[in-house]
Chain A
Amino acid sequence: MKGERLGEFEELLLLAAQAVPDEDCSVVEIQQYLERVTERRLSLGAVYAGLDRLELKGCVRSTLGEVTRQRGGKRKRIFSVTGEGRRLARDARRVRDAIWRTIEGR
């Protein structure tokens, strides 16, 4: 089981959730941010499914935000990254960095 590890897309989602400002961290913002950075088309379904998995793994937490005027009075879900999520993201980065150092130190 993937459990404690992150898939590539999950990792990207986790990082994006940290990169997007906290108060705006909705599904739409994450999706838009990732499309911009990766220059790749992402379907909303994939983003939802990925965030669902991250939530199951305890990496992100979501709450329903305040009612705003823009969305016709409908609330949106705001994501925040948990301590566990930050740790997993850092772990993933450490592994990568270590490998890159080996490659470049040769």
Chain B
Amino acid sequence: MSQPPALGRVLLRLWRLGERREEIESDLLDLFERRRAAHGLAFARRRYIADALSLSRLRRQPEVISDPEPQRGAEAMVHDILFALRLFRRHASLLMLTVGGLAVAIGVATSVLGVVNAVAGGGTGISAPENVFRIASIAGATDRSGPTGRSRIFGEWTYDHYVRLAADVPSMQLVAAHALRTEVRRTRDASQSIPAGYSAVSGNYFDVLGMRAVLGRTLHPSDDRAGARSLVVSEGFWRNVLGADRAIVGKELIVDAETYTIVGVVHRRHGKAPNMDVPPALWMTLRAHEEVWLAQPRTDAANAAPRWNPPVEVLGRLNAGRTRAQAESEVSGVAASLALRANGNSKAVVQFEPTEGKMRGSLRVVITIFFVIVALVVLLACANVANLLLASAASRRREIGTRLAIGASRGRLARQLMTESLMLSGFALGVGLLVAQIALPALAARIRIPSEVDVSLDPRIFVVVAGLSLVIGLLTGIAPARWGYRADLASTLKSDQAGAPSPLPRARLRSLLIGGQAAISVLLLVLAALLTRSLVESTFADVGFDMTRLIAASVSTRKAQGGVEGSDLAAMRDAVLRVPGIEAAGFASTPPFVVRMSPQPLNGRGVSRTDASPEYFDTVGIRVLRGRIYTPDEARSGARVAVISASLAEQVWGREDVVGEDMALVWGQPDAGRQSVGTWRTPAGTRVIGVVSNITTQLGDDNAPTIYMPVTEDSVPRLVVRARRDTGSVSRQLVDALDAFDPRLRPIVATPVDGLRQQLETPRMIAELALAVGAIALVLAAIGLVGVTSFVVEQRTHEMTVRRALGASERQLIELMLRDNLKPVAIGLTVGLVASLAGGRIVQGALYGTSARDPVALLAATIVLVAVAVVATLLPSRRAGRVDPAQLLKQG
């Protein structure tokens, strides 16, 4: 015999059926049997559940009118929910504003968390990372043979080094990775190519680091052989670019010009390379990379068979039972022998760096700011909900009194109020997640997250946000629920509109919430103002030279392996100067805002080195303050001379006039008795022959301490020209002139103005975001103020009527309301300003050209907040002034 459905039986058990239970259950069973016989089991089961549901509100017996017996849990909950829904309908508009605000806050929080998680979350994905180290060679171990083997930055490992290390370091399993950007196409004839970062890795890379695939497999040592063209892609790239095709394994992808076969998709938590802000989209083996690189056509016959030896990042995992010290000494030994072979100097410094917990400073500042902003906005929205609930609880004194009078328990009342706030936060969670679904891709696009990063909502974030809204519901419910719990029967019933105005319940708590909102709003406004000001400052900053007429051209230096010859440079300069629009030209390795400097720390400040031709100074507009610039002859003959910026002179010697001083550029530690600058190796005893004016070379690096040295054959010089008027038309002429001079140069033209614009991208994005969030915060605070003031005005209507009857003018009444309601705002404003002064340290790192205690920003935020607060209070307050004294007479 088949049973009635379990759901129906459970429902029946929930209802309060009293002594009729047995009778009703047997009736239902009877009906179930009949229906099953007539219409089949499915029908009978459906109807059984429907009938069971319909019995929920059945009274126990017709004779019993009411019962003091407490309702059973589930039933009471249904009643609570239905009651809350009816109540919400009554305050629909105010509620929509409040819950809408909370929903937007939750949506924004979810989106920001999503983006941050996608870009920076989850670590590197290396399993057991405490045993994995990035092996940094500080100096000495680099050799300088071969075109790609020539590391531009000293202290890089090359592939050859890795092979030696892997063979001679038994304590560790070593892996190598060489990262580049490239173009990817789906098919050979596809017109559109997608830029993507890729990493060429040793075959053991994934196995040693313990990175898993979500689809297919990762690369194995067996892929690292001649002729193999295996490729794995990141999960983000697979989702965003390859359309999450589950049959992708085995399909082909065109990288650059070569066809590869996709063998797997790397799990989103595992694809993050250490030391990279954005994880690569593709991985191939180093062997495949070598073959493809060697097969590329060479333009220069003399350069036909260069050796492939790219710079690589070397990571190692300690073998079981080996210590870090053992590994370090082994690696140092190999490095010393490499250095000895390369330059006759066995001094080599090797450093082990942990792979986890390395987040670039600026990125950490940005993320911290994001988190603070998001937390504050959510807090703000919560304050609104709490305030609304408190105010509505206060205006429901009579209802609550009545419920107490007819026997409701205090716990029951508290539960009712708690249910309401939990429902509100539940609504907000639903709407908020919808908002996030829309906002997340928009935000990712706005801040230009590369296509290979997966920004879809992570289930973990969903759990965090759902938990957050539960906490919000409980927290915002506590105050009204406590109030409901403590409600006093006599006073709640007595306090009527017509009675004496009783003190407002929890008026203090409400003031506190309003004050808190003002404080948070002003904090966010100050932040937005600071970031905006910083953006303006950096856009119009005085960089120490006129950048508007400068153009830099990078030229291919493959022509001669050691770089462009000095005589070639002079001829190139002459050719360029024949262009009518160009009035000056020079060469430098790092033109400002075009090439990113990597300053070396000295006395707490970064020092940059620029290899510059003598004409460079005049071309850019760097003035000679002391001494002179090196002559072309000195530059050609490799004289040990240098020109330094005034800021460097100040930093090292503490004075400007340092012409004739000796300086040594040495590795690592300063030499005794000599001032040492940076870690570049130059002949000892370099003499300072001139001091020049400071320039700013990149954002956040004002008056960069710089050492200028003659261009040598090791330099990678870029051509810098100054146009007579604007750079627009001259760029084309410059490229034409360079092409005519030597078609193999393939110049890439860039201007400092464009460079500055690019460097301003991130600050601009943060400032825009802060402004948007500041606006949201302001609107939330305004909603809160309007809501609370409305309730207060409603409650004090009687008092206002009496005052009006006693002769107060409309204006006086409005002033009274304004004064009372703005007091907490004023207190909150003060607290917020103090807090923003105190918390300035957090944001200082992201500010440029302005202090975190900038009075203009503080003043602007204050004015905006006060204006909005006055308007938000004034609107409902005007009703207080419009009371009719005749009403008092009518009431008696």
What residues of chain B lie closer than 8 Å to A27, measured between beta carbons? 27
What residues of chain A lie closer than 8 Å to B623, measured between beta carbons? none
What residues of chain A lie closer than 8 Å to B57, measured between beta carbons? 45, 49
Q: Restricting to A57-106, which residues have a CB under 8 Å from any CB of B?
A: 64, 70-72, 74-77
What residues of chain B lie closer than 8 Å to A19, measured between beta carbons? none
A46 close to B54 (CB less than 8 A): yes
Segment at the interface with A among B28-36, B701-709, B786-794, B853-861? B28-36
A74 close to B23 (CB less than 8 A): yes
B259 within 8 A of A: no
Question: Considering the chains assembled together, what is the distance between the CA atoms of A102 and B47 in angstroms?
Answer: 42
Question: Considering the chains assembled together, what is the distance between the CA atoms of A53 and B54 in angstroms?
Answer: 16
Question: Considering the chains assembled together, what is the distance between the CA atoms of A46 and B57 in angstroms?
Answer: 10
- Distance to closest chain A CB from B21 (angstroms): 11
* CB-nearest residue of chain A to B34: A32
- Distance to closest chain A CB from B772 (angstroms): 52
* CB-nearest residue of chain A to B22: A74
What residues of chain B lie closer than 8 Å to A44, measured between beta carbons? 24, 27-28, 31, 51, 54-55
Known A74-B23, A76-B26, A76-B27: A45·B53 in contact at CB below 8 Å: yes
A31 close to B31 (CB less than 8 A): yes
B26 close to A48 (CB less than 8 A): no
Which applies to chain B's interface (DSSP): helix, strand, loop or mixed? helix
A interface footprint on B61-100 (CB within 8 Å = 1, 0 otherwise) = 0100000000000000000000000000000000000000
Question: Considering the chains assembled together, what is the distance between the CA atoms of A32 and B27 in angstroms?
Answer: 12
Among A32, A41, A48, find the residue whose CB has the most chain B CB atoms closer than 10 A. A48
B59 within 8 A of A: yes
Question: Considering the chains assembled together, what is the distance between the CA atoms of A53 and B31 in angstroms?
Answer: 22
Question: Considering the chains assembled together, what is the distance between the CA atoms of A43 and B26 in angstroms?
Answer: 15
A56 close to B62 (CB less than 8 A): yes
B509 within 8 A of A: no
Question: Considering the chains assembled together, what is the distance between the CA atoms of A82 and B57 in angstroms?
Answer: 26
Known A43-B51, A44-B31: A76·B58 in contact at CB below 8 Å: no
- Distance to closest chain B CB from A47 (angstroms): 9
- Distance to closest chain A CB from B455 (angstroms): 49
Number of chain A residues close to chain B: CB under 8 A = 24
What residues of chain A lie closer than 8 Å to B27, measured between beta carbons? 26-28, 44, 76
- Distance to closest chain B CB from A14 (angstroms): 15
A52 close to B23 (CB less than 8 A): no
Question: Considering the chains assembled together, what is the distance between the CA atoms of A53 and B59 in angstroms?
Answer: 10
A74 close to B26 (CB less than 8 A): yes
* CB-nearest residue of chain A to B26: A74
B50 within 8 A of A: yes
A71 close to B30 (CB less than 8 A): yes
What residues of chain A lie closer than 8 Å to B56, measured between beta carbons? 45
- Distance to closest chain A CB from B12 (angstroms): 11
* CB-nearest residue of chain B to A29: B30
Question: Considering the chains assembled together, what is the distance between the CA atoms of A49 and B27 in angstroms?
Answer: 14
Question: Considering the chains assembled together, what is the distance between the CA atoms of A49 and B62 in angstroms?
Answer: 9
Q: Restricting to B618-677, which residues have a CB under 8 Å from any CB of A?
A: none
Contact of A72 among B26, B28, B50 (CB under 8 A): B26
A11 within 8 A of B: no
Contact of B58 among A31, A49, A55 (CB under 8 A): A49
B26 close to A52 (CB less than 8 A): no
What residues of chain A lie closer than 8 Å to B47, measured between beta carbons? 41
What residues of chain B lie closer than 8 Å to A48, measured between beta carbons? 24, 55, 58
A interface footprint on B416-443 (CB within 8 Å = 1, 0 otherwise) = 0000000000000000000000000000
Known A31-B31, A44-B28, A71-B30: A76·B23 in contact at CB below 8 Å: yes
- Distance to closest chain B CB from A5 (angstroms): 18
Q: Restricting to B1-60, which residues have a CB under 8 Å from any CB of A?
A: 22-24, 26-31, 34, 47, 50-51, 53-59
Contact of B54 among A45, A56, A64 (CB under 8 A): A45
Question: Considering the chains assembled together, what is the distance between the CA atoms of A26 and B50 in angstroms?
Answer: 20
What residues of chain B lie closer than 8 Å to A70, measured between beta carbons? 30
* CB-nearest residue of chain A to B35: A32
What residues of chain A lie closer than 8 Å to B51, measured between beta carbons? 43-45
What residues of chain B lie closer than 8 Å to A55, measured between beta carbons? 62
* CB-nearest residue of chain B to A43: B54
Question: Considering the chains assembled together, what is the distance between the CA atoms of A101 and B34 in angstroms?
Answer: 41
What residues of chain A lie closer than 8 Å to B22, measured between beta carbons? 74
What residues of chain A lie closer than 8 Å to B30, measured between beta carbons? 28, 70-71, 76
* CB-nearest residue of chain B to A26: B27
Question: Considering the chains assembled together, what is the distance between the CA atoms of A13 and B56 in angstroms?
Answer: 20
- 14 interchain pairs, CB-CB under 8 A: A27-B27, A28-B27, A28-B31, A32-B34, A43-B50, A44-B24, A44-B28, A44-B51, A44-B54, A45-B57, A48-B24, A52-B58, A70-B30, A72-B26
Give the A-binding residues of B (Cβ under 8 A). 22-24, 26-31, 34, 47, 50-51, 53-59, 62
Query: Shortest 9 CB-CB distances between A and B: which pairs?
Result: A45-B54, A43-B54, A44-B51, A74-B26, A45-B55, A52-B62, A56-B62, A28-B30, A71-B26
Known: A43-B54, A44-B31. 4 other contacts (CB 8 A): A43-B53, A44-B28, A45-B53, A76-B27
